[in-house]
Amino acid sequence: MIFENVLIVDPVYGEFCGDVEVEDGIITKVKKKECIEPKNILLPGFVDTHSHGYSGIDCMNATAKEFENWANFVAKDGVTYLFPTTVSGTKEELERVLKEFLKAKHPALSFLHFEGPFINKEKAGAQNKEKITSFSKEKLPDLNNKVKIITAAPEINGFEKLLEFSKENNLIISLGHSNGTFEDFKKAYEKGVRRITHFPNALREFHHREIGGIGAAFSLDFYVELIVDNIHLSPDFVKLVYKLIGPERIILITDSISATNLKDGIYNLGGILVKVKDGIARTEEGSLAGSTLKFIEAVKNFRKITKCSLKELAMVSSYNAFKSVEMNPPRIKEGYPAKLVLLDDELNIKKVIVDTPN
Amino acid sequence: MIFENVLIVDPVYGEFCGDVEVEDGIITKVKKKECIEPKNILLPGFVDTHSHGYSGIDCMNATAKEFENWANFVAKDGVTYLFPTTVSGTKEELERVLKEFLKAKHPALSFLHFEGPFINKEKAGAQNKEKITSFSKEKLPDLNNKVKIITAAPEINGFEKLLEFSKENNLIISLGHSNGTFEDFKKAYEKGVRRITHFPNALREFHHREIGGIGAAFSLDFYVELIVDNIHLSPDFVKLVYKLIGPERIILITDSISATNLKDGIYNLGGILVKVKDGIARTEEGSLAGSTLKFIEAVKNFRKITKCSLKELAMVSSYNAFKSVEMNPPRIKEGYPAKLVLLDDELNIKKVIVDTPN
């Protein structure tokens, strides 16, 4: 397959015109050349490290077949690397998710993300407080190298042990659902943690006498997941994060739930009932409960708010996500997997290639 | 008078060794030369644009003689330009302050700062809510060119008229005691306002769906007053402001009250009773009510927290303050007023020259 006369956007080399050849799921040739007004833009396929569901499918209940359907759905939004995300669950519940995920076959299914259960009840958000707990490795099933991210609060009991466990198991800890202080975040940072989950949702408020996790993200070199749906965060906030934290460390995510792509109504988020009205998902208590955001919309919103370059857009939509989990990031370069998104100049999706096996 | 073999710190030229000659209150010669380990550091005299009192003296009640005594007191802390600061008051009360201030003669007495009354009652802090009001010029006495700064909230009624009034009267508006949104601050910024009073004390909390005045200070090029007493702001916060806003836009202030330099007890802050315990001043409701900070302590605290350069220390202790009120900033340069502070290498005050007439 050849993409001819496209604006190629590589997160390292930047933007240039040319042709890209793909064979057997691999980029075999990237040819730079003069183009006259290329109509389409070729980006690495998007990475969504945080999504709970889509179109009626919920991670906590999904069958292998549903995981595959889910991957097919999000591929239409440009996502070629999906990290299905649990909420806090018992060992048995998480084991079931893992079992189904292991059986599922789809090139976009990357790894699981466990959002909890080692988080802070005070910052549970839309999670079931009864399933939130301190860390001990006995509370987790055998991860089978299929879990890449665990979201945890740095102030919980057993956090240091979780860090050791994460190193032994090739896992990345992402700080979140936390009431931790700046000191808690700084300590975790000093031990190598470099990631914050849906920043700054479900973190302690910023205060000038305790700057907390928000202050830590502004002070230290954390990667931050952002839900850019104009609901979880105001555009002014996103602009500020773009200025202060920068496109090198922002990771777009959807945090989407099963209601995504469906009508308003009552949905299930890992056992918690969620009411969706005007596309906004809330628990009975009124907490935001994930989103109904599609990845391509996050990409469009981010560009519109920040007026970032296309190179920066490639960074926030795929490159940084993989950097943050210490994986080799997607590129448009010979020898790399041909997971690609072709967009028109208004960022509408024209074509997505996802069929390279993982 | 000659300062020989000192480390000269100019906010523009930076640090260099040499001699400084002073005659009739003017710097007549700055001679750069090789020195071997200069023992002392020569900085421009400090500027305190925000101080309510000192050693039993309270701005709202001070006589002309007390203004002079006050200036003598703070000169011992290195302050050679003092802006005595009122709280919200009636026209008659402010008129009385002005009358006494006009009679006072001391080279360190610069201008008055009116902190209120055009602020937001919801963010009154230690101010008397009954005296807080919307703007109309009839509520102010004749300023006689002796008021330089008015702290006001951008969301109050009449703020636009206050901006016009400030331009006609050579005044600087400093935003503070405000519950204003980011939009309110941005609008004021677009109309030329560049200053925030004791940031971020008495401002709306920072939130990711309404970043408010704190977000404005992090987004736009405001000068910010900071009370670096390790009580109003945590050292982590000060470090963050140093990183995000930078030494070019930080203005150290004391916000000191009459209890400064005295023992713990009950004091008067413009009619509000304030309890001072362990040097911390609070209203009956527990709000912080100014400080008992001495300027030289603010300077030491800031250096210790940020590890800034001496050039940066000159910027935050005098240069930026004058820039923020559009006055010609203090320098160590021939032809400039000889208002100088000599410090040892631990920033203890060795000598202060203040006797140049304004």
Which of A211, A232, A237 faces B237 most closely, judged by CB atoms?
Answer: A211
A233 shares a domain with A118: yes
Per-residue pLDDT of chain B (358 residues; tens, 9 = 90+): 999 999 999 999 999 999 999 999 999 999 999 888 898 999 999 999 999 999 999 999 999 999 999 999 999 999 999 999 999 999 999 999 999 999 999 999 999 999 999 999 999 999 999 999 999 999 999 999 999 999 999 999 999 999 999 999 999 999 999 999 999 999 999 999 999 999 999 999 999 999 999 999 999 999 999 999 999 999 999 999 999 999 999 999 999 999 999 999 999 888 889 999 999 999 998 999 999 999 999 999 999 999 999 999 999 999 999 999 999 999 999 999 999 999 999 999 999 999 754 4
The reply to whether residue B219 touches residue A240, judged by beta carbons under 8 angstroms, is yes
A271 pLDDT band, cuts 50/70/90, is confident
The reply to whether residue A243 touches residue B182, judged by beta carbons under 8 angstroms, is no
B286 shares a domain with B248: yes
ipTM over 0.90: yes
B335 shares a domain with B242: no
| Cβ contacts of A233 on chain B, cutoff 8 Å | 208-209
Helix (H) or strand (E) holding A182: helix A182-190
- What pLDDT sits at residue B271? 86
Residues in chain A: 358
Q: Which residue of B has its CA nearest to A217?
A: B240
The reply to whether residue A205 touches residue B210, judged by beta carbons under 8 angstroms, is no
B297 shares a domain with B165: yes
- What pLDDT sits at residue B299? 98
The reply to whether residue A205 touches residue B206, judged by beta carbons under 8 angstroms, is yes
| Cβ contacts of B232 on chain A, cutoff 8 Å | 208-209
| Cβ contacts of A234 on chain B, cutoff 8 Å | 208-211
Is A132's pLDDT higher than 80?
yes
Which of A211, A240, A243 faces B234 most closely, judged by CB atoms?
Answer: A211
How far apart CA A85 and CA A77 sit, in angstroms, is: 17
| Cβ contacts of A242 on chain B, cutoff 8 Å | none
Structure tokens at A266: 């009552």
Number of CB pairs, chain A paired with chain B, less than 8 A apart:
64
The reply to whether residue B208 touches residue A244, judged by beta carbons under 8 angstroms, is no
The reply to whether residue A218 touches residue B240, judged by beta carbons under 8 angstroms, is yes
A86 shares a domain with A64: yes
How far apart CA B163 and CA B185 sit, in angstroms, is: 13
pLDDT in tens, A21-79: 999 999 999 999 988 889 899 999 999 999 999 999 999 999 999 999 999 999 999 99
- What is the gyration radius of the CA atoms in chain B, in angstroms? 19
pLDDT in tens, A98-122: 999 999 999 999 999 999 999 999 9
Q: What does A211-271 look like in DSSP terms, one character per residue?
A: -HHHHHHHHS--EEEEE-SSSSS-HHHHHHHHHHT-TTSEEEE--B-TTTTS-SEEEEETT
Average pLDDT, chain A: 96
A155 shares a domain with A18: no
- What pLDDT sits at residue A156? 98
In this structure, what is the dihedral angle of CA atoms B69, B75, B81, B85, given to the nearest 10 degrees? Answer: -50
Structure tokens at A30: 């990237």
Could you tell me what percent of chain A has a pLDDT over 90? 95
B199 shares a domain with B122: yes
Structure tokens at B33: 């030369």
CATH number at residue B26: 2.30.40.10
- What pLDDT sits at residue B356? 56
B168 shares a domain with B233: yes
Q: Supply the range of the domain harboring residue A66.
A: 46-328
The reply to whether residue A234 touches residue B240, judged by beta carbons under 8 angstroms, is no
Which of B208, B233, B244 faces A244 most closely, judged by CB atoms?
Answer: B244
- What pLDDT sits at residue A321? 98
Q: Mean of the pLDDT values across residues A290-298? A: 97
Test the B interface: residue of A214, A236, A288, A291 with most B CBs within 10 Å: A236
Q: Which residues contact B126 (CB under 8 A, 6 or more apart)?
A: B87, B269, B272, B274, B281, B283, B287, B288, B289, B290
Residue given tokens 């939004």 in the structure block? A77
Instruction: Domain count for chain A, please give it.
Output: 2
A356 pLDDT band, cuts 50/70/90, is low
Which of B205, B209, B233 faces A233 most closely, judged by CB atoms?
Answer: B209
| Cβ contacts of B201 on chain A, cutoff 8 Å | 208
Is A357's pLDDT higher than 80?
no
| Cβ contacts of B219 on chain A, cutoff 8 Å | 236, 239-240, 243
Structure tokens at A208: 């000038």
Q: Is the CB of residue B79 less than 8 Å from the CB of residue B295?
A: yes
A334 shares a domain with A253: no
What is the distance of C-alpha A308 from the center of its chain?
Answer: 19
For B156-173, b/e burial (b = at least 16 CB within 10 A) is bebbeebbebbeeeebbb
How far apart CA A191 and CA A187 sit, in angstroms, is: 6
Q: Which residue of B has its CA nearest to A183?
A: B236
pLDDT in tens, A174-199: 999 999 999 999 999 999 999 999 99
Q: Is the CB of residue B131 less than 8 Å from the CB of residue B117?
A: yes
pLDDT in tens, A201-213: 999 999 999 999 9
Largest CA distance in chain B: 60
CATH number at residue B114: 3.20.20.140
Q: Is the CB of residue B45 less than 8 Å from the CB of residue B352?
A: yes
Determine phi and psi for A70, rounding to 5 degrees: -55, -45
- What pLDDT sits at residue A39? 87
The reply to whether residue A240 touches residue B218, judged by beta carbons under 8 angstroms, is yes
The reply to whether residue B234 touches residue A200, judged by beta carbons under 8 angstroms, is no
Structure tokens at A2: 């050849």
Q: Mean of the pLDDT values across residues A263-269? A: 93
Q: Is the CB of residue A217 less than 8 Å from the CB of residue A196?
A: yes
Q: Which residue of A has its CA nearest to B205?
A: A207
Question: Measured between CA atoms, how close is B313 to chain A, in angstroms?
Answer: 21
- What pLDDT sits at residue A157? 98
What is the distance of C-alpha A268 from the center of its chain?
Answer: 20
Bridge partners of residue A50, in order along the sequence: none
Bridge partners of residue B21, in order along the sequence: B2, B29
| Cβ contacts of B208 on chain A, cutoff 8 Å | 200-201, 232-234, 237
A194 shares a domain with A81: yes
A338 shares a domain with A266: no
B139 shares a domain with B62: yes
